[in-house]
Amino acid sequence: MCGIIGVVGKNPVNQLLYDGLLVLQHRGQDAAGIVTCDGNTFYMHKNNGLVQDVFQTRHMRSLQGNAGIAHVRYPTAGSSSAAEAQPFYVNSPFGIVLGHNGNLTNSTQLKEEMFRQDLRHINTSSDSEVLLNVLAHEIEHTAHSAVLNSDMIFEAVAGVHKRCLGAYAVVAMVANFGLLAFRDPNGIRPLVIGKSETEKGVEYIVASESVALDVLGFKLVRDVEPGEAIFIDMDGNFFSRQCAEKPKLSPCIFEYVYLARPDSVIDKVSVYQTRLHMGVSLAKKIAKEWGDLHIDVVIPIPDTSRPSALQLANALNLTYREGFIKNRYIGRTFIMPGQALRKKSVRQKLNPIGMEFKGKNVLLVDDSIVRGTTSKQIVQMARDAGANKVYFASAAPPVRFPNVYGIDMPTRDELLATGRTDQQICEEIGADALIYQDLDALIEAVQLSNPDIKMFDCSCFDGNYVTGDIDETYLNNVESARGDKLGHKKPANSSTQLDLNLVTIKEYEEAV
């Protein structure tokens, strides 16, 4: 899961990109990067860390130009080294920078093709750099050394769709030519288009979530369709084309459960409204199947579960209370790299209000249970605060399968629900009862806002992978590679990529 933004404006865009990344910080806290374009020159700064720490005033001043792209990273493929912060750059042809949200499922095969057929060198272990080089090769093939135009760009994206499998929402920029954005043929990862009317003309933006458009003063136009590419030249002319042969909208349902901000609208679905619906359906299940539970109070585990918990309490006519105070200066534990760091951060992140727990039968509501690390500690915190009984409700079904499309759920060994019954999971987290949302109910909760979505990627819940290329061998290879990575961590200075911070790419080319 990452956050991407691209802007073609009439004024310098460095501040717009920075402010947009702040809004999308929840999608990645590992690294951040911005590239701006001024004529034939790219200006880049990227590094590990939060947006506010990566970019200082001196960095912002160096990011010149009226167009650019930006990225916040949460690593699911590759490493966490600063060299793998995005955007990535390649100088042939024309000069291209790219930011990517998602995960390619055939990146190993593509790397081999890049080396042996396309004669391109991949400098990092990131699948995003693979995607950049595939795009660059396809543009080179379609352009035939001629003057580039939008038709050639769209033909190149069609070539990318034929070669790349998996999930990818992409923003890219071709030097002195324009901004390109496209979405994989299944539309697994989100991407929206916005525009703003200014005195100097129309400005365009593409971003992972509509909330970035709201904050930056852009009006949401629509979503980028699955398989579609949009291109905006440096004069602000807008072009779009369907570039996939058989596109089908199958968005990742976990975006609505946890990943996206509640104030975003993705594929015409309000994330907030979906989470309200999730609470209602969960309340119906509790009333039908768990009517013997005596619940004194419903308490959400902040922040994502609040809408679901509130609607659940209202539907069951139960008292709703805030029982945990969150330290807002601690990041999202689900996307923190490393199990030890997650364990340590839960106690730093949440502190219970004793009076809401003491002597009560408490129903805790969370958006989902993935590894169970957080759930187990929170149940114990509730008991330590004096709760009589601790019941636990998940607004999502049990996560039993790896996610291979850009969410850090890569191995079955790390998932609490894999190979366990609901009762075993309940015992593992120490709860007195455990209630899961049904998958059909979750799908219905999203479809209530947009009935036109007929299919979702629910692979982490049901093991059905919409790209059709995932089998047991693939999952075993992913798990083996992850085990090697966790057991043999590379030193932070092991990367061979040159540091492009605060230098122009023109200077970089001259240096090499």
Mean pLDDT of 439-462: 97
**437-to-257, 271, 351, 458 alpha-carbon distances in Å:** 11, 17, 26, 13
Residue 370 counted as domain residue: yes
pTM of the predicted structure, to 2 decimals:
0.89
* Same domain for 41 and 85: yes
The answer to whether 14 touches 34, Cβ cutoff 8 Å, is yes
The answer to whether 376 touches 386, Cβ cutoff 8 Å, is no
Which of 14-18, 369-373, 439-443, 505-509 bottoms out in mean pLDDT, i.e. has the lowest?
A: 505-509
- Cα–Cα distance for residue pair 158/244, rounded to 1 Å: 6
**Residue 384 is assigned to a ligand binding site:** no
* Same domain for 365 and 283: yes
**Total number of domains constituting the chain:** 2
Residue 499 — pLDDT band, cuts 50, 70, 90? very low
Selecting among 2, 37, 164, 243, the annotated active-site residue is 2
- Cα–Cα distance for residue pair 471/462, rounded to 1 Å: 14
Quick check: 56 pLDDT over 90? yes
* Same domain for 284 and 213: no
The residue with tokens 């579960």 is 305
Residue 306 counted as domain residue: yes
**Residue 432 is assigned to a ligand binding site:** no
* Same domain for 195 and 84: yes
**What is the predicted pLDDT for the residue at 487?**
54
Residue 310 counted as domain residue: yes
* Same domain for 304 and 386: yes
pLDDT digits (tens, 9 = 90+) for 282-337: 999 999 999 999 999 999 999 899 999 999 999 999 999 999 998 877 655 544 55
Mean pLDDT of 386-402: 97
Sign of CA dihedral 136, 141, 144, 147: negative
| CATH number, domain with residue 148 | 3.60.20.10
Provide the residue type at 122 as one letter. Answer: I
pLDDT digits (tens, 9 = 90+) for 339-383: 554 555 677 889 999 999 999 999 999 999 999 989 999 999 999
Residue 172 counted as domain residue: yes
**What is the predicted pLDDT for the residue at 78?**
47
How many CB atoms lie under 10 A from the CB of residue 343?
Answer: 16
* Same domain for 282 and 224: no
**What is the predicted pLDDT for the residue at 452?**
96
Residue 6 counted as domain residue: yes
* Same domain for 298 and 206: no
pLDDT digits (tens, 9 = 90+) for 459-475: 999 999 999 999 999 99
Residue 265 counted as domain residue: no
- What tokens appear for 288 in the block? 């039908």
Closest CA to 255 of 355, 188, 181: 188
Residue 55 counted as domain residue: yes
**What is the predicted pLDDT for the residue at 479?**
84
Pairing of strands 67-73, 31-38: antiparallel
Residue 399 counted as domain residue: yes
- Cα–Cα distance for residue pair 55/41, rounded to 1 Å: 20
- Cα–Cα distance for residue pair 282/29, rounded to 1 Å: 31
* Same domain for 356 and 236: no
- Cα–Cα distance for residue pair 232/73, rounded to 1 Å: 24
The answer to whether 276 touches 311, Cβ cutoff 8 Å, is yes
Q: Compute the residue count for the chain.
A: 512
**Residue 496 is assigned to a ligand binding site:** no
Range of the domain at 384: 276-326+344-452
**Range ranked top by mean pLDDT from 158-162, 468-472, 484-488:** 158-162
Provide the residue type at 500 as one letter. Answer: L
- Cα–Cα distance for residue pair 178/195, rounded to 1 Å: 16
* C-alpha atoms less than 13 angstroms from C-alpha of 450 in its C-beta half-sphere: 19
Mean pLDDT of 63-71: 98
pLDDT digits (tens, 9 = 90+) for 203-214: 999 999 999 999
* Same domain for 299 and 204: no
Percent of the chain with pLDDT over 90: 78
Query: Last residue of a domain, which of 418, 452, 486?
Result: 452
pLDDT digits (tens, 9 = 90+) for 399-419: 999 999 999 876 888 899 999
Q: Which residues pair with 193 in a beta bridge?
A: 206, 222
Mean pLDDT of 451-460: 97
Task: Between 509 and 144, name the one with better pLDDT.
Answer: 144
Q: What is the DSSP string of 311-369?
A: HHHHHHT-EE---EEE-TTS--GGGSSSHHHHHHHHHHHEEE-GGGTTT-EEEEEES--
**What is the predicted pLDDT for the residue at 507?**
40
Q: Which residues pair with 435 in a beta bridge?
A: 393
| CATH number, domain with residue 291 | 3.40.50.2020
Query: Is 458 considered catalytic here?
Result: no
* Same domain for 349 and 236: no
* Same domain for 291 and 427: yes
